[in-house]
Amino acid sequence: MFSINQLDARRLRQGLADLDVLAPERAAHVRERAREAVARLAPEFPGAPATGLLDEGEVAEQRFAEFANDEPCPALDLETGNCELYESRPMTCRTFGPPVRSEEGLGVCELCYHEASDEEIASCEMVPDPDDLESDLLRELERRTGDRGETIVAFALAR
């Protein structure tokens, strides 16, 4: 489970709408998985289940760190292992795998870099948004729609 911003949520909802046109049955399965996930997660959700928005602050971050770590993403078809909304996936999914630097340091997928030295890992570092366009787009979305805060994939898709 990971948090997503409102731009990610909007992309996911648009991807689901597009899938509804191309493959309505697959889209219905994604919605069903999202609604089932929301029903399971709502009682312990570290935020407002009515809106799907995560609480903010240090205590909320600690609660979220332990929240639903075994919950599969509703966009994932467990039978095929495919993401049904791959082209609309959140930024976290887009950057998973290669080393990406954040405030916490250089983050890597531990499954991808067994026995690699720190220097070897650093040489593979990528900058996912070098011009910080994602932040500009998110601010514009917030200005136009008033949508703010972070959520999770299940709540974004269960709307």
pLDDT in tens, 63-88: 999 898 889 999 999 998 899 999 99
Q: DSSP 3-state assignment of 40?
A: helix
Mean pLDDT of 87-115: 76
Q: What is the pLDDT of residue 129?
A: 81
Average pLDDT, the chain: 90
Range among 25-29, 64-68, 129-133 with highest mean pLDDT value: 25-29
Cα-Cα-Cα-Cα torsion 159, 14, 128, 130, nearest 10 degrees, comes to: -110
Report the range of poorest mean pLDDT among 68-82, 113-127, 139-153. Answer: 113-127
Q: What is the pLDDT of residue 84?
A: 96
Q: Please say if the pLDDT value at position 52 is more than 60.
A: yes
Cβ-based neighbour number of residue 109 at 10 Å: 12
